Structure 1
Amino acid sequence: MSRMTPFSSPLLVGFDAMEKTLERIAKGSDGYPPYNIERIRADLSRGLPEKLRITLAVAGFSEDELEVTTEENQLVIRGRQSDAGERDYLHRGIAARQFQRMFVLADGMEVLGAELRNGLLSVDLVRPEPSRMVKKINISVPE
């Protein structure tokens, strides 16, 4: 028996990739590291478009232990800490922990850059204003 999904409607043509992405997101993550997403208003006087900023709390990670990439329509942020040498801990409450956090990007979203400051990794995104196109499709008549 086949599984019925919301994307199996005949009116939603070509959305199978979106369905797979939603399934991957639904599997969830453990919530580490915590993050914020904020909208930064456009400053038209300086010619700056509206941006989105994703800020992750990555205290204890250095720049070379973090990786920000885009894969297809996803922003992927990975952190890998290396345990530096032998230490004799009396109490260890700060774990050297790896993470991978993924954000699905809408079509046309572009990553402007990333900045690490005071234990916070900020990734700025912008969506260029789409040009509105109307394309006429010719109808052929067989002879």
Structure 2
Amino acid sequence: MRDGEDSYRISIALAGFRPDDIDIVAQQNSLIVSANRNVDEAEGTYLHRGIATRSFERRFQLADFIEAGNATFENGLLTIELRHVLPEAMKPRRIQIGGHAANDRIEGPGDRARDAA
């Protein structure tokens, strides 16, 4: 989801997981979100369990110059903030034109011979 000109957000529903179960890794141009819930078999036998308990991994391919920022986990919803950060060397810059005085001019080869005479 796009939040602004240079910010984005990824939201993933992770009902049944705790923040300690979730692992977020950002490297190069990828973001990996994985979760591993330790299910205690001593809890008993269920006829039906409505919340998934299996582990998962989700990979996101990020564009160049996208950096992962803060991550929050509220009410079973994981939100990861992303920003587009352009390196200073790649940003466009304005080049000023140097001012020349009215009597400044470019000298040609014939000008030197004329001035010497």
Partner residue in 1 for 2:91 = 131
- Alignment of 1:113 onto 2:76: no
Amino acid corresponding to residue 79 of structure 1 in structure 2: A
Aligned to 1:64, the other structure's residue is in SS state: helix
Aligned equivalent of 2:53, options 92, 96, 99: 96
State the Cα distance separating 1:79 from its structure 2 match.
0.7
Amino acid corresponding to residue 79 of structure 2 in structure 1: S
Partner residue in 1 for 2:14 = 58
State the Cα distance separating 1:85 from its structure 2 match.
4.0
Amino acid corresponding to residue 132 of structure 1 in structure 2: P
Deviations 1:61-94 (A, max 9, x none): 1001000101321000001011024123232232
Q: Choose between structure 1 and 2 for higher RCO, CA contacts under 8 A separated by at least 6 residues.
A: 2
Aligned to 2:10, the other structure's residue is in SS state: strand
| Number of residue-to-residue matches in the alignment | 89
Gaps of 5+ in 2: 94-117
Gaps of 5+ in 1: 1-37, 43-49, 134-143
RMSD: 1.7
CA distance in 1, matches of 2:28, 2:85: 18
What is the percentage of aligned positions where both structures have the same residue? Answer: 35
Aligned equivalent of 1:69, options 19, 25, 37: 25
State the Cα distance separating 1:128 from its structure 2 match.
1.7
| Alignment TM-score, normalising by the size of structure 1 | 0.57
- Alignment of 1:41 onto 2:4: yes
Change in CA separation of 1:56 and 1:82 when aligned onto 2, cut-off 3 Å:
same
Change in CA separation of 1:65 and 1:54 when aligned onto 2, cut-off 3 Å:
same
CA distance in 2, matches of 1:114, 1:95: 22
| Alignment TM-score, normalising by the size of structure 2 | 0.68
Structure label with greater radius of gyration: 2
